[in-house]
Structure 1
Amino acid sequence: MSNDLIAKYGDARLPRYTSYPTAPAFSATVGPDEYADGLADIAKAGPVSVYLHVPFCRSMCWYCGCHTTITRQDAPVADYLDVMSQEIELVSFAAGNDVAVKNVHFGGGTPTIMRPQEFSALMAKLRSAFVFEADAGVAVEIDPRTLAAPIIDALAENGVDRASLGVQSFDPVVQAAINRLQSFEQTETAVVGLRSSGVSSINFDLVYGLPKQTVQSCIETVRLAAELRPERFAVFGYAHIPAFKKHQRLIDESTLPDAKQRNEQAEAIAEELQKVGYQRIGLDHFALPDDQLAIAARKGAMRRNFQGYTTDDCDNLIGLGASAIGRLPTGYMQNHVPLGLYAERIASGVLPTAKGYLLTEEDKLRAKIIERLMCDFEADLGKLSSGSGFDTGFLVERNDRLGELMADGVVTISGERIIVSQEARFMVRAVAAAFDAYFGSHGRTHSKAA
């Protein structure tokens, strides 16, 4: 792939397509009433996943794109968890108290900022409010720098079987540039503790495109991380959006790599991970061959949701906590972001929905196409549209973005199959955008495509 095309598509600001439509399409015209209506029927749609957002950290990492608040005290966290427990009751009541739960995911922020007894109490609240399947999985995102033995014990006692650890980079120069000092030894101690407690699947997050990062530092980070043999890696490109995340202004933009350098870093990480036995999964994940994600990818059964690539086959998600997004059969619902406003709504006995989006049948078809492109690098339009009542010709004809991608050799069309070229797979988000009816209409800045 030429440097011109890398610059053309790699510099493009595109959604990550962990949902469709993406969050900029959400509207405040969708609120608590629509959420309640959707919850009333959710139990009929089969088991759901539950996501709990814990928006607190002990320190701010300058690259962070999450909704989080810095606190050195435990009281704000405890108060927030009390509010979240009340939200669980409201949601459970609206859903009829008989929703089956297949997966639980704690995200942040830093979920393990909770004290052990708080984590146990929150899990007990969930189990009393919903019907957990016998083999329900529980996953937690973890900052290794603050993980202590008591919380590891609490994770084990409450059925946590998957953990995702933030690593980003082991290069001390890069760590200083993003305000996240984390030694290999801290990470190793966390992994050993989690393994001994029975956590069967561990994921590491790595990031490329960071300030002062080089291809060599990326390779050295992979070599160190691979020594700990996590089952999976998620490798993300840093999204520099200081207009939305003011703390990112602390990063010296002159030290950020350009599109070509970002691509070189991403490919160096991929090559190194594959050298040590990891299978490349989708756009930015890697897994050991016997891991369930790798198996799902080989079978064409991998899914994509707000957690990225996943084996989670639930079509619906209940989002709990400030800023959390859920997906119901009717559409997407997002809670208020400000902690005070979120708590105020809950205290009033009202579901804290700030905005959302009600899906049309066309949206559902486009979502299927985009998910398969993101997961498989190809999509069979005829197969995906079967029974929908849509003639897929309207998705291809007069599709200028798709035509440009074809002219550039990024995609080919065989019958009704859209196929991303092998050498252009890192541009798959640009291909997905060609099927996004709302792309570019909301004035939102997304992360770079590569």
Structure 2
Amino acid sequence: MLSALFSDMDPIEQLCVTVPASTCLSMDQCEGLMRQLRDSFNLAAGVSREYVFKIGVHAVSVAHVHALHVQGFNRLHLIAEDCTLDTAAEMLHDKKRIQPAAKTVELIKAAQVAGFRSVGVDFIYGCPGQNIMSVARNLSAVIAAAPDSVVLHGHIYLPLASGDMQLSDMDSRLAMFHRCVRQLNAAGYAYIGMNHFAKPEDEIAVAQRQGRLYRNLQGFSIHPESDAIGCGVAAIAAIGNSYSQNQTNLSAYYANIDAGLLPVGCGTHLTMDDLLRRFIIERLACNFELSLDFMEIAYPIIVFKEYFSEELAILRHMETDGLIRIDSERITVPPRGRLLIHVICKVFDRYQGALSDWQSHPRNSLA
């Protein structure tokens, strides 16, 4: 159904296939998926294409990695949720998500040998059973394998019926996070923003230095904003000035398809205010800087300091703490504030309560 709607579209320059952390996808299934995508859409073949496959370390093998490259993917992103557990009882909690760091290292090296243009790792900290030393040890092993990028994520706990596990407290999670940041900085990785680190020669880091970095539904990108088609359960699409999300329930998803309907569960049209705020958030996240004069030229119907007077009042609190600088021409985020760029950007998100979060829990946002 989607291919019929976009039959006359330009070649697809960006493709992202994300396999949930708790899911395994066989090589035959991956090959079948790519065959279906090629038959349905006009996939680009040039070197500028950005085709990324995101998958949990537990769900992929060395042979699988090589097969993905043959199928046309040129970026691999591994989700490494390593749990250092002490007792056999704890290991029953979620066996699928327990991987030694050695497995991650093996896959990084396999991807490098296969010829992937970029190899990234989502490194999860704060997992049940972890402590600061085990996190440091595992991250050291990952860094030694020299992935092109590392993204830090705090573990999100989903309780299971089999019982709860001991979680890291807030102070421990903060200590883990800061230890990871120090290790990545010491290894020469550049901080891109939003807990994303990359080698200075990586194309994401180069694009940021040159002022041509962008951010879309999948994260940072060297490609400017374009329409995004969402395929699959809970997939999000961005077409024109609209967002939509497919059904999140599998039965509802297939019921729509069986009825000949697009499996869209919800959606919204973006207002001028939405577009304005989205642009501000993207520029701050990508460049750590926003030109107020440019904003008034791009959106001549506003006077920035009047339109965003409430937001600027919140930012003044952060300026007092040295996290941002505001003058008559621009908003700048100095190095001290860049680890909190997601909090700064959140001030301009009218769908979230930035002021109360900043006043009550500024330190918790990192954990």
Q: What TM-score bracket applies, with the shorter chain setting the length?
A: 0.7 to 0.9
With the length of structure 2 as denominator, give the TM-score of the two structures: 0.85
What is the aligned partner in structure 2 of residue 221 from structure 1? 138
Contact map agreement 2:125 2:177 (CA 8 A) in 1: yes
Deviation, structure 1 residue 153 = 4.3
User: What 5-or-longer segments of structure 2 have no aligned partner?
Assistant: 355-361
One-letter code of the match for 1:194? Answer: A
1:206 corresponds to 2:119: no
Question: Using the alignment, how far apart are the partners of 2:124 and 2:57 within structure 1?
Answer: 16
1:434 matched to 2:347: yes
Contact 1:332 1:358 in 2 (8 A): yes
* Paired position in structure 1 for 2:150: 233
Question: Aligned partners of 1:294, 1:248: CA distance in 2, in Å?
Answer: 43
2:59 match: 146
* Cα distance change on mapping 1:378 and 1:305 into 2, 3 Å: same
Asked whether the 8 Å contact 2:102–2:141 carries over to 1, the reply is no
Residue in structure 1 matched with residue 256 of structure 2 by the alignment:
345
Q: Tell me what 1:256 maps to.
A: 168
For 1:102-117, what aligned pairs fall within 5 Å after superposition? 102-109=13-20, 113-117=24-28
C-alpha distance in 2, partners of 1:248/1:107?
26
Q: Which segment drifts farther, 143-152 or 124-133?
A: 143-152
- Which residue does 2:358 correspond to in 1? none
Q: 1:155 to 1:251 in 2, by over 3 A?
A: same
Partner of 1:114: helix, strand, or coil?
coil
Task: Write the distance in 1 (CA, Å) between the matches of 2:161 and 2:239.
Answer: 33
Separation in 1, partners of 2:101, 2:310? 52
SS, match of residue 203 in structure 1 = strand
Whether the 8 Å contact between 2:318 and 2:324 is mirrored in structure 1 is yes
Match of 1:362 in 2: 273
**Bigger mean CA deviation after superposition, 108-117 or 263-272:** 108-117
CA shift for structure 1 position 315: 2.6
Asked if the contact 1:326–1:333 (Cα under 8 Å) also holds between the matched residues in 2, the reply is yes
Q: Give per-residue Cα distances to partners, 1:155-212, cap 9 Å, x unaligned.
A: 1221111111122346445995765321233223323333333223211111233344
Between Structure 1 and Structure 2, how many residues are aligned? 351
The residue identity in structure 2 corresponding to 1:229 is A
1:239 to 1:308, Cα distance in 2 relative to 1, 3 A = farther
Letter aligned with residue 219 of structure 1: A
Q: Deviations over 1:44-70 (max 9, x none)?
A: xxxxxxxxxxxxxxxxxxxxxxxxxxx
Which of 85, 110, 113 is matched with 1:196 structurally?
113
Tell me, yes or no, if the aligned pair for 1:207 and 1:235 is still in contact at 8 Å.
yes
Q: Does 1:449 align with 2:362?
A: no
| TM-score where L is the length of structure 1 | 0.70
- Kept after mapping to 2: 8 A contact 1:361/1:388: no
Conserved? CA contact 1:103–1:137, under 8 Å = yes
* In the alignment, structure 1 residue 137 sits paired with structure 2 residue 47: no
- Per the alignment, residue 156 of structure 1 pairs with 69
- Give the distance between the partners of 2:58 and 2:155, measured in 1 at CA: 21
- Identify the match of residue 413 of structure 1 among 326, 333, 350: 326
Contact in 2 for aligned 1:211/1:251 (Cα 8 Å): no
Task: Report if the CA contact (8 A) 1:203-1:231 is conserved.
Answer: yes
| Contact 1:111-1:141 at 8 Å conserved across structures | no
Give distance in 2, aligned partners of 1:100 and 1:247: 43
Measured in 1, the distance between the counterparts of 2:138 and 2:299 equals: 47
- Classify 1:182/1:348 alpha carbon distance in 2 versus 1 (closer, same or farther; 3 Å): same
**Which is worse superposed, 201-210 or 418-427?**
418-427
Q: CA deviation at 1:107?
A: 0.5
Residue 304 (1) aligns with residue 215 (2): yes
Structure ranking higher on relative contact order (CA contacts 8 Å, 6+ apart): 1
* Secondary structure, aligned partner of 1:319: coil
CA RMSD of aligned residues (A): 2.9
Distance across 2 between alignment mates of 1:202 and 1:266? 21
| Aligned counterparts of 2:45 and 2:188: Cα–Cα separation in 1 | 32
Give the 3-state SS of the residue equivalent to 2:332 in structure 1.
strand
**CA distance, structure 2, for counterparts of residue 152 and residue 217 of structure 1:** 27
Name 2:99's counterpart in structure 1.
182
CA–CA distance in structure 1, aligned partners of residues 120 and 84 of structure 2: 19
Relative to 1, partners in 2 of residues 1:314 and 1:247: Cα closer, same or farther, differing over 3 Å? farther
- 1:327 and 2:241 are equivalent in the alignment: no
After TM superposition, give the deviation of residue 284 of structure 1 in Å.
Answer: 0.8
What residue number does 1:273 align with? 184
Residue in 1 aligned with 2:6? 95
- Supply the distance in 1 between the matched residues of 2:113 and 2:123 (Cα, whole angstroms): 23
Give me the whole-angstrom Cα distance separating, in 1, the residues matched to 2:148 and 2:4. 38
What is the percentage of aligned positions where both structures have the same residue? 25
Contact map agreement 1:395 1:435 (CA 8 A) in 2: no
Instruction: Using the TM superposition, give the Cα deviation of residue 221 of structure 1 relative to its aligned residue in structure 2, in angstroms.
Output: 1.7
